[in-house]
Amino acid sequence: MKSKIIKSKRTKSKRIKKERDIKKTKKISNIMVNVLVTLESGVTKKVRKVIKSDLEWGKILTPHEFEITRRKGTDKPRFENLSDGSKVGIYYCKCCNLPLFTSKAKYESNTGWPSFYEPFSKNNVKNVKDYSQNMIRDEVLCTRCDAHLGHVFKDGPPPTGLRYCMNYESLSFKEKRI
Query: Which span (23-31, 128-136, 137-145, 156-164) binds Zn ion, by CB under 5 A?
Result: 137-145
Nearer to Zn ion, 19 or 54 (CB): 54
For residues 144 and 163, which CB has a smaller minimum distance to Zn ion in the complex? 144
The reply to whether 90 sits near Zn ion by the rule CB under 5 A is no
For Zn ion, the closer of residues 93 and 140 by Cβ is: 93
Q: Please provide the DSSP assignment of 35-82 as one string.
A: EEEE-TTS-EEEEE-----HHHHHHHS-HHHHHHHHH---PPP----S
Residue 145 falls in the annotated catalytic set: no
96 binds Zn ion, rule: CB under 5 A: yes
* Residue 124, SS3 per DSSP: helix
Residue type, 47: V
Using CB under 5 A as the binding rule, whether residue 93 contacts Zn ion is answered as yes
Contact between 100 and Zn ion per CB under 5 A: no
Q: How far is CA 89 from the centre of its chain?
A: 21
The single-letter DSSP state of residue 122 is G
User: From the CB of residue 81, how many other CB atoms can be counted at a distance below 10 Å?
Assistant: 14
* Residue 39 Cβ vs Zn ion, minimum distance, rounded to whole Å: 13
Is position 165 an interface residue for Zn ion (rule: CB under 5 A)?
no
Catalytic annotation, pick one of 93, 95, 96, 165: 165
CA distance 13 to 22: 14
Residues at the contact surface with Zn ion, assessed by CB under 5 A? 93, 95-96, 98, 142, 144-145, 147
